[in-house]
């Protein structure tokens, strides 16, 4: 289904009309002033190799502690109240998982569970070796951890690292194949020695890849897919997601049009994001806007939704670029969404951000996104 073809006629309750135009204008001015006071100051954060500005009361979704070592399932990334951030991903040659700040007991529990997992892997390898002594791929090798506390293992084509960094738990899991040229031991050594903590809502001067709480100093050529989700504390109806994804060429059996910004925009609203009963493209004549975004050309879309309760009205804003893997400077695939979920505000007794102010806020956030750039040695 093409977003441009969305022409659902949404039913609304008739609203009372003001007989005095002056009263309506006064109410509009008051609403703008109220919202302006809600977002008096903004602060910067970094996502991958990008920088973004947000109202200064935003919170960041991270991995739930109980899923840090659940390597058989996808990580569960959420906000503190458990609201899922299902689009977030932290991929650098493998899946990174980052916890929220932990106390001493939680850190000790994490390390205990990591060592239990290590013993489980070693026992499984030993059992496989007894059944087939010629199987060399089942051998387990351990990477040096230096002064880190945790585990670092490699078996076959799988590498697993789990350690603590001050008051955070970190895991990294990578699965390659026989044809892969990825130098896992070298990357693991860099991960263990070079990974740094950074304060959230800070933009490092040094280059590298930003994740929540972390900075990994690696070269520009290192592939990544980093997507971070934010939610405004004063307006929990507003979530913001920014993804920085290394651009790549279509594979042998992949359709080139799937990589275009327009296709990805349509696909997001019609296939990926489906928390609605009906959806309407607010850009009826232009279908999409072409706008500059972080130094690239982008496709902008605006939608109106009726939630699955068939009553609640909401809005969404999306910006997507098509990266260039052949560019001399880093030109990634980028995606930014700002979505209002009025239910999250209403249940807390907060008035949802009105439509006009929502799209104004969304565009302001989009305009703030910049590429952090590369050092001369990385270009």
pLDDT of 39: 63
Beta-bridge partners for 200: none
Is the separation of the CB atoms in 188 and 143 below 8 Å? yes
Instruction: Kindly report, residue by residue over 11-68, the tens digit of the pLDDT.
Output: 333 333 333 333 333 333 333 333 444 566 899 999 999 999 999 889 999 998 888 9
pLDDT of 377: 35
Kindly state the average pLDDT of the residues 268-287.
92
Kindly state the average pLDDT of the residues 339-346.
97
Instruction: Kindly report, residue by residue over 166-190, the tens digit of the pLDDT.
Output: 999 999 999 888 778 788 888 999 9
pLDDT of 40: 63
- On whether residue 68 sits in a domain, the answer given is yes
- On whether residue 325 sits in a domain, the answer given is yes
- On whether residue 6 sits in a domain, the answer given is no
- On whether residue 190 sits in a domain, the answer given is yes
Burial class for 355, CB neighbours closer than 10 Å (0-12, 13-18, 19+): middle
Q: How far apart are CA 125 and CA 137, in angstroms?
A: 10
CA quadruple 367, 368, 369, 373: dihedral positive or negative?
Answer: positive
CA quadruple 87, 88, 93, 97: dihedral positive or negative?
Answer: negative
Q: Which residues of 86-101 are buried (b: 16+ CB within 10 A; e: fewer)?
A: ebbbbbbbbbbbbbbe
Residue scoring higher pLDDT (317 or 252):
317
- Number of structural domains the chain divides into: 1
Beta-bridge partners for 211: 214
- On whether residue 31 sits in a domain, the answer given is no
- On whether residue 193 sits in a domain, the answer given is yes
Residues 6+ apart with CB under 8 A from 165: 148, 195, 197, 214
Neighbours of 168 (CB within 10 A): 20
- On whether residue 310 sits in a domain, the answer given is yes
Range(s) of the domain holding residue 304? 40-371
């Amino acid at each position: 289904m093409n977003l441009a073809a969305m022409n659902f006629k949404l039913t609304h309750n008739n609203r009372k009309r003001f007989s005095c135009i002056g009263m309506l204008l006064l109410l509009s001015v008051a609403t703008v002033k109220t919202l302006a006071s809600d977002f008096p100051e903004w602060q910067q954060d970094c996502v991958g190799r990008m920088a973004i500005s947000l109202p200064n009361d935003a919170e960041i979704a991270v991995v739930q502690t109980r899923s840090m070592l659940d390597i058989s399932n996808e990580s569960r990334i959420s906000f503190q109240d458990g609201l899922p951030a299902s689009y977030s991903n932290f991929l650098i040659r493998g899946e990174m998982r980052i916890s929220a700040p932990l106390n001493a007991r939680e850190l000790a529990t994490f390390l205990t569970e990591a060592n239990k997992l290590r013993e489980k892997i070693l026992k499984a390898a030993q059992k496989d070796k007894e059944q087939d002594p010629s199987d060399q791929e089942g051998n387990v090798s351990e990477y040096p951890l230096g002064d880190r506390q945790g585990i670092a293992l490699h078996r076959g084509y799988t590498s697993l690292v789990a350690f603590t960094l001050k008051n955070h738990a970190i895991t990294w899991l990578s699965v390659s194949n026989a044809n892969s040229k990825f130098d896992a031991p070298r990357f693991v050594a860099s991960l263990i020695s070079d990974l740094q903590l950074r304060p959230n809502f800070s933009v490092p001067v040094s280059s590298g890849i930003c994740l929540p709480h972390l900075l990994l100093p690696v070269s520009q050529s290192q592939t990544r897919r980093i997507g971070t989700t934010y939610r405004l504390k004063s307006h929990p109806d507003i979530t913001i997601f920014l993804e920085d994804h290394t651009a790549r060429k279509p594979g042998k059996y992949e359709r080139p049009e799937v990589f275009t910004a327009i296709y990805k925009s349509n696909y997001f609203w019609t296939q990926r994001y489906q928390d609605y009963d009906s959806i309407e493209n607010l850009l009826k004549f232009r279908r999409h806007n072409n706008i500059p975004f972080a130094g690239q050309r982008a496709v902008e879309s605006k939608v109106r939704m009726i939630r699955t309760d068939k009553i609640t009205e909401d809005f969404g804003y999306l910006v997507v670029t098509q990266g260039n893997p052949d560019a001399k400077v880093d030109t990634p695939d980028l995606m930014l969404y700002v979505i209002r979920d009025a239910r999250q505000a209403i249940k807390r007794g907060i008035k949802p951000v009105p439509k006009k102010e929502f799209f104004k806020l969304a565009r302001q956030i989009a305009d703030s996104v910049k590429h952090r750039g590369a050092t001369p040695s990385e270009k």
